[in-house]
Structure 1
Amino acid sequence: MSECEGCSSAAPDGSCTSTTGCDNPEELKLQQTLGRIKHKIVVMSGKGGVGKSTVATNIAVALSLAGKKVGLLDVDVHGPSLPRMLSLKGQKPHMGDRTMEPVPWSKNLSVMSLGFLLEDDRQAVIWRGPVKMGLIKQFVEDVMWGELDYLVVDCPPGTGDEPLSTLQTLGPTAMGVIVTTPQGVAIDDVRRSVSFVGEVGNRVLGIIENMSGFACPNCGTIHEIFKSGGGEALAKEAGVQFLGRIPLDPEVANSGDEGYPYLKVHRDTITGKALEQIIQPMLELPDPPKA
């Protein structure tokens, strides 16, 4: 991957339009950080309440359990939930001279979230767009992620400052993973996320339909509580890959509340197998060419 990726002086073909070269130390530092990350996956949705953070967490955990080096970045400034979902509440990143170390969850998975930096988890974060944009860039540029196979980013719902800043910071090779639920109202909002990613200049890796049926813990079958298939239909309409359906399972909610990733404990369930199937296209992504 080119060191110029994501730079304000980079042309669409990756060439440099600057007449003086890269003389901005912060820009160079950002590009050096991005150059050590093979794949950037931005999990987003145009609709709140679709289980996006749960999906992002379990994608990151699944990739780490597959032996990949993974970073999980929480850019939900107003509702950073990943520390709780991974039993990392109260942890603090080690702070160096203009650097931070992400909080380790396992030998293969490290995490960064604003939740680690708040003194009180009841504290409201009242920030305007430019401040949030600066934080997101800092969480990429100044965090010592090291060599990563994947950086998974959990964005808040919508197409506002956070997903826009994330995609612009990570550059054109970052890929969006769009999460929806089967209902038509959710599909309408999520459709905007698909077009948003394209308009920013990135591509959608695929769409996930979450809460697609109910996985009965007694009989082991899927019961259609809501209609299903909306996510797959949207993927076909948009011409993007459909990554799969994740059925409802009561243990998914319990795992988030109790602070353990569902997939680490329930890999052999219907929902666990669905999650592992979803990451297969991510594992098959070709490594970017070396600069």
Structure 2
Amino acid sequence: MPGQENMTDVTVIRGNVYERLSHVIDPEIGRSVTDLGMIVAIDVAPSHSTEGVRAPGRFDVTVHVELTVPGCPLTQTIQDRIDEAVASYPGLELVPHIEVGAMDADKLTGLVSSLKAERRENPFNKPGIKTRIFAIASGKGGVGKSSVSANLAATFSALGYDTAAIDADIYGFSLPGLFGVHSQPTNLNGMLMPVTAWGVKLISIGMFAGADRAILWRGPRLQRSLEQFLSDVWWGQPDVLLLDLAPGTGDMAISVAQALPNAELVVVTTPQPSASDVAVRSGLVALQVPLKVRGVVENMSYFDHAGERLRIFGEGGGTRVSDRLTDALGYDVPLLASLPLEPDIREVGESGRPAVLDSDGSLADTPLASSFTALARRLIG
């Protein structure tokens, strides 16, 4: 029959394009666009010139996409990935055209219900969970705990780990500013998509309306905030989850121990005795709750200037904390890293980019980035 060969070509192309789209991952949910039901139709037709002459080996491919919500912030990213999957089809020249719509309420409800049923409450307490969880703690404010959390998360991501971070410092949240985040999480019928910045999936109370007001939560309400961050946010299955805790040994540390008994505590201190003495108390919380202290990070340990290493804040604080926690807890609590004092941490961090990264998101070629890389590798090892 005339045209049957073309129809066979079109049918084969349509099936192959769909298979290629099964490898296009929604950047928020972490599933393929085909698994999520976002590809509703694929139209394939031979391309013709403006004079109506068919162009051999060239086809127009129109992909009809339904996004989870109208105006999805990652619409362009999804479109670019679909374009690439279609345009890189081997052996033929496929010209991609994308028609974008949004799921209706019933379809979205069904998708969210299936995701929630699969996840079931706190996803990080399932047997066999692969995620390594590090809770970053300090005895007092001002030691750079949040900067350590942000740069460590960015380092893990740049090293190729699927990385998530929760700003569990409800009172003094700072991760949104350190990552340059000014948007809110996408809400899919009550399930939140974390905001991704510099490769890290983030959630913070600072991303929500009214977050600039003073927060006076305690007890059950504070614990519920962490539970919501864990169970009402679609995290997927990250390799690493970091929690930036509030300073001290208050309610949030206890909530973390209850919600994430597999978390490992990393205590941040500075060299001077006043900071290290208080830091010990944040590690000793492990005597009251089932948390293992993974180790100690000494921040602002030294400053290299004109070939001379200056110990501006003294020295030995990290070692003191390590030794005292090892004695008190009965197992080795090592000094994991001594991080340099770098003006870039403040200057670059305040611009919304973790200081360990270059502007393209790769790890910078600096002593600071090298220190964080060694720390990340030691933690994950």
Contact 1:73–1:154, Cα closer than 8 Å, also in 2: yes
TM-score computed with the length of structure 2 as normaliser: 0.63
Q: CA separation in 1, counterparts of 2:345 and 2:132? A: 26
Structure 1 residues 233 and 33: CA distance shift in structure 2, 3 A: closer
Q: Deviations over 1:156-191 (max 9, x none)?
A: 1000011211221112x2100000001111111111
The answer (yes or no) to whether the contact 1:100–1:143 under 8 Å persists in 2 is yes
Tell me which stretches of 4 or more aligned residues in structure 1 moved more than 4 Å.
none
The alignment partner of 2:312 has SS state of coil
CA–CA distance in 2 between the matches of 1:59 and 1:221?
Answer: 26
Alignment of 1:75-224 (within 5 A): 75-89=168-182, 91-106=183-198, 108-119=199-210, 121-171=211-261, 173-216=262-305, 219=306, 221-224=308-311
Question: What is the TM-score when the length of structure 1 is the normalising length?
Answer: 0.82
Distance in 1 separating the partners of 2:269 and 2:120: 35
Deviation at 1:77, TM superposition (A): 1.0
Q: 5+ residue gaps in structure 2?
A: 1-115, 327-332
- Deviation of 1:210 after TM superposition, in Å, equals 0.4
Query: What SS is found at the alignment partner of 1:248?
Result: coil
Aligned equivalent of 1:268: 365
- Is 1:30 the counterpart of 2:117? The answer is no
Change (3 A) 1:48 1:32: closer
Where in structure 2 are the equivalents of 1:6-21 lying within 5 Å? Answer: none
Contact 2:270 2:313 in 1 (8 A): no
CA distance in 2, matches of 1:189, 1:153: 20
C-alpha distance in 2 between matches for 1:230 and 1:83: 29
Segment of structure 1 superposing worse, 139-148 or 198-207: 198-207
Equivalent-residue separation in structure 2 for 1:50 and 1:77 (angstroms): 17
Greater strand percent: which structure? 2
Equivalent pair of 2:187/2:193 in contact (CA under 8 Å)? yes
Secondary structure, in 3 states, of the residue corresponding to 2:241? strand
**Alignment partner, residue 249 of structure 1:** 342
**AA of the residue aligned to 2:203:** M
**Total equivalences in the alignment:** 253
**Are residues 1:58 and 2:146 paired?**
no
Shift of 1:29: 2.2
Aligned positions of 1:272-291 closer than 5 A: 272-284=369-381
Q: 1:227 aligns with which of 288, 304, 314?
A: 314
State how far apart, in whole Å, the 1-side matches of 2:344 and 2:247 are: 23
Give distance in 2, aligned partners of 1:136 and 1:184: 32
Match of 2:323 in 1: 236
Name the SS for the 2:202 alignment partner.
Answer: strand
Structure 1 or 2, whichever has the larger Rg, is 2
Q: Report if aligned partners of 1:220, 1:270 keep a CA contact under 8 Å in 2.
A: no
